[in-house]
C-alpha cells in the first residue's frame, strides 16, 4: 500500500483510480491508500469482462463449498474444529473445511472426510454374534469393512449293512439330507452258481439304490430264483461345500457386532476396518 502525503487526481483518471484503489485509510493517524484486490475491481467481479473461464470455475467451486458449510449444525462444525492439524495453525473450523473442499479432498468430491480408521481382528466362533470392541465413534458417521471368511464342508454319512436277495433294506439317515444335492455310493456284490456233473448256471448281482428321501436310503439287490443275503457299504455325500462370509449386525459407539451369513463348519479369524467420517 502507498502512504498518502498529497494527491491530485486528474478528472480523466478519476474512474480508473477508483476502480484500482480503495479509499484512503487512517493507520496511526497516517492516511494510506490500498490497491483493490482483483476480485474487488468492477471488471473482475461477477459478469465482468476481465473474469476468465478458469476463474469462473474456481469461484463456482468456492461457492459450492460455502453452500456445503452453511447448513452444518454446531455439532458438525465442531467436529471439523476438533480435526484440525496438530500444529493448530489458522486452519480452524471454517477455514479447514473450505481449504479441504477447494483442494478436492473434502466436501467438493466427497460428502465427508475421514476422521479416524480402526482395525480390529479376532476369532469368530461358528455360533457368530461376535462383538468387536472399538474406540468411541459416532455410529451415524461410520462405515465398517469386513475381511475374512469360513466355510461349510460337504456332509458325509457312511455305514455297512445287508439286504436279502430280492428284498429292500431301509436305512435311516441322521441328520436328514437334501436329496436334490446328495449323491450315493454303494459298494458290494453277490452271486450264486449251481453245478451238476460239470454243467449248471449261476447269477451275479450287486446292491443298488432304489429310493432316497430326506430321512431314508433304500437299497435293493435283485437275484431271481435265489435266496440269500448281500452285504454292502454305503456313503451319502450332501454337497454343501461353500465359502461363508461374515455380515454386519450393528454399529454402536464402542462396539461392532458381526455374524455369519450361514452357520459355518469351523471358527475363523475376521478383521474389521472401522472408518469414521467428519
Looking up residue 221, the CATH number of its domain turns out to be 2.60.40
Instruction: Evaluate whether residue 185 is within a structural domain.
Output: yes
Who contacts 265 (Cβ-Cβ below 8 Å, separation ≥6)?
126, 150, 151, 152, 153
Instruction: Evaluate whether residue 30 is within a structural domain.
Output: yes
For residues 140 and 162, membership in a common domain is answered with: no
Instruction: Evaluate whether residue 271 is within a structural domain.
Output: yes
For residues 4 and 35, membership in a common domain is answered with: yes
For residues 106 and 44, membership in a common domain is answered with: no
Instruction: Report the domain count for the chain.
Output: 4
Which structural domain, as residue segments, surrounds residue 28?
1-49
In order of 6, 97, 131, 275, the CA distances from 245 in angstroms are: 82, 38, 16, 20
For residues 172 and 208, membership in a common domain is answered with: yes
For residues 69 and 98, membership in a common domain is answered with: yes
- pTM assigned to the model: 0.59
Q: Along the 278 residues of the chain, how does pLDDT read in single tens digits?
A: 455 566 677 888 777 777 677 777 787 888 777 776 666 667 777 878 888 888 888 888 888 888 888 888 888 888 888 877 666 666 677 777 887 777 766 665 555 677 889 999 999 999 999 999 999 999 988 999 999 999 999 999 999 999 999 999 999 999 999 999 999 999 999 887 777 676 767 678 899 999 999 999 999 999 887 888 999 999 999 999 999 999 999 999 999 999 999 999 999 999 999 998 87
Instruction: Evaluate whether residue 198 is within a structural domain.
Output: no
Instruction: Evaluate whether residue 78 is within a structural domain.
Output: yes
Amino acid at each position: 500500500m502507498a502512504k498518502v502525503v498529497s494527491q491530485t487526481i486528474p478528472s480523466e483518471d478519476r474512474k480508473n483510480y477508483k476502480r484500482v484503489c480503495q479509499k484512503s485509510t487512517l493507520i496511526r493517524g497516517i492516511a494510506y491508500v490500498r490497491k483493490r484486490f482483483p476480485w474487488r475491481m468492477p471488471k473482475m467481479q461477477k459478469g465482468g469482462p476481465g473474469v476468465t473461464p478458469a476463474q469462473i470455475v474456481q469461484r463456482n467451486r468456492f461457492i459450492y463449498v460455502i453452500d456445503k458449510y452453511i447448513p452444518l449444525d454446531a455439532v458438525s462444525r465442531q467436529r471439523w474444529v476438533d480435526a484440525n492439524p496438530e500444529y493448530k495453525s489458522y486452519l480452524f473450523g471454517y477455514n479447514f473445511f473450505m481449504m479441504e473442499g477447494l483442494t478436492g479432498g473434502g466436501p467438493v468430491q466427497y460428502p465427508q472426510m475421514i476422521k479416524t480408521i480402526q482395525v480390529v481382528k479376532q476369532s469368530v466362533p461358528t455360533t457368530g454374534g461376535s462383538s468387536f470392541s472399538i474406540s468411541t465413534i459416532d455410529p451415524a458417521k461410520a462405515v465398517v469393512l469386513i475381511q475374512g471368511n469360513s466355510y461349510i464342508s460337504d456332509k458325509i454319512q457312511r455305514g455297512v449293512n445287508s439286504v436279502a436277495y430280492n428284498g429292500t433294506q431301509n436305512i435311516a439317515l441322521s441328520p436328514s439330507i437334501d436329496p436334490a444335492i446328495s449323491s450315493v455310493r454303494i459298494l458290494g456284490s453277490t452271486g450264486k452258481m449251481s453245478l451238476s456233473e460239470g454243467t449248471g448256471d449261476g447269477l451275479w448281482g450287486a446292491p443298488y439304490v432304489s429310493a432316497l428321501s430326506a430321512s431314508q436310503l433304500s437299497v435293493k439287490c435283485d437275484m431271481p430264483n435265489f435266496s440269500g443275503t448281500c452285504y454292502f457299504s454305503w456313503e451319502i455325500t450332501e454337497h454343501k461345500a461353500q465359502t461363508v462370509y461374515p455380515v454386519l449386525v450393528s454399529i454402536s459407539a464402542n462396539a461392532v457386532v458381526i455374524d455369519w451369513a450361514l452357520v459355518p463348519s469351523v471358527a475363523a479369524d475376521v478383521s474389521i476396518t472401522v472408518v469414521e467420517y467428519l
